[in-house]
């Protein structure tokens, strides 16, 4: 009987975590059918995952597949953006193409970089696009590996609006650039072994968030959440100071993604999702 009581207390301690005056509780655990390689969350708090076959799933509140996009060829996208669930943006570096999915995860548009992004004399040719993401006002931000620059493209007017050489702000061109995201008028460029570079809406370099071993980047309201060195850091985008969100070491050491939404937090490993609620 004592062993049962001790086990129950140990379980309660391990799944209950304090965050300031709030308490985090594991609300549910979801096992993935296949290994997860990419994930994102939309503006309604719905989770999307991509597996090793390139299938993109939207999960329901129980973690079951609600809708599914299966590409014609099993190619894993480089990145996908689900913030607008009516126009989900999926970029394939290998194909140099991007796809637009509707809210049913049905493909409604497909474009090739070479056909859709035109060049002009001011900024020269567009080379190999490593990362590509959408932004408001029908523009695209992309990392052009050929000339090692960050570019902003106006789709409607068919012109490159800005080009920022990255060799001026990066200490080493060999560091992999693996994350690109537009959020609240700023561009965040994740560079392994260096940190997270921040640019304004004109492509001007502002600062570097010095987390060289960052693993995941997400946002909510006016804060950025960074998974780095077995920690989850919550940092204001406009003020000084930061908070640390404590999770169990056995979970945080395996984290691939971490997403906040309202009073919930989603912690994803390659095989599992933990949903936390605050009380």
Q: What is the pLDDT of residues 12-38, one digit of tens each?
A: 434 445 555 467 889 999 999 999 999
Q: What would the 3-class secondary structure string for 84-119 be?
A: CCCCEEEEECCCCEEEEECCCCCEEEEEEHHHHCCC
Quote the CA–CA distance of 5 and 208 in Å, as a whole number: 49
What pLDDT is attached to residue 8?
Answer: 38
Most distant CA atoms of the chain, gap in Å? 79
Strands of 145-252, DSSP E: 149-154, 159-165, 177-183, 186-191, 195-200, 205-209, 214-220, 223-228, 231-236, 242-245
133 CB-near residues (< 8 Å, 6+ apart):
79, 81, 89, 91, 140, 141, 142, 180, 181, 182
End-to-end CA distance of the chain: 30
Read off φ and ψ for residue 63, nearest 5 degrees.
85, 10
What pLDDT is attached to residue 223?
Answer: 96
Question: Model-level pTM?
Answer: 0.89
Give the residue ranges of the chain where pLDDT is below 50: 1-16, 21
109 CB-near residues (< 8 Å, 6+ apart):
99, 100
Quote the CA–CA distance of 192 and 177 in Å, as a whole number: 6
Q: Would you state the torsion angle of the CA atoms of residues 246, 252, 255, 260, taken in this order, to the nearest 10 degrees? A: -10
Within 10 angstroms of residue 34's Cβ, the number of other Cβ atoms is 14
Among candidates 206, 208, 260, 210, which has minimal Cα distance to 232?
260
Q: Are 206 and 186 in contact (CB under 8 A)?
A: yes
Q: Are 232 and 245 in contact (CB under 8 A)?
A: yes
């Amino acid at each position: 009987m004592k062993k049962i009581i001790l086990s129950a207390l140990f379980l309660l301690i391990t799944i209950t975590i304090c965050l300031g005056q709030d308490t985090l509780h594991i609300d549910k655990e979801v096992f993935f059918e296949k290994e997860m390689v990419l994930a994102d969350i939309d503006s309604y708090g719905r989770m999307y995952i991509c597996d090793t076959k390139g299938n993109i799933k939207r999960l329901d509140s129980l973690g079951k597949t609600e809708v599914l996009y299966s590409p014609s060829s099993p190619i894993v996208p480089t990145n996908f953006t689900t913030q607008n669930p009516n126009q989900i943006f999926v970029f394939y570096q290998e194909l140099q193409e991007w796809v637009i999915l509707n809210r049913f995860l049905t493909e409604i548009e497909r474009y090739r970089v070479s056909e859709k992004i035109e060049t002009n004399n001011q900024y020269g040719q567009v080379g190999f696009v490593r990362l590509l993401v959408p932004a408001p006002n029908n523009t695209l931000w992309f990392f052009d590996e050929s000339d090692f620059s960050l570019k902003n493209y106006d789709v409607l007017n068919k012109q490159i609006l800005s080009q920022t050489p990255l060799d001026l702000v990066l200490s080493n061109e060999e560091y992999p650039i693996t994350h690109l995201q537009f959020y609240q008028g700023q561009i965040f460029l994740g560079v392994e072994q260096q940190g997270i570079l921040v640019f304004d809406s004109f492509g001007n370099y502002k600062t570097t968030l010095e987390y060289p071993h960052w693993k995941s980047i997400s946002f909510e309201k006016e804060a950025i959440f960074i998974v780095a060195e077995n920690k989850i850091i919550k940092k204001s985008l406009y003020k000084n100071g930061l908070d640390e969100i404590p999770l169990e070491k056995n979970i945080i050491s395996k984290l691939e993604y971490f997403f906040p939404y309202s009073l919930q937090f989603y912690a994803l490993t390659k095989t599992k999702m933990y949903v936390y609620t605050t009380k």
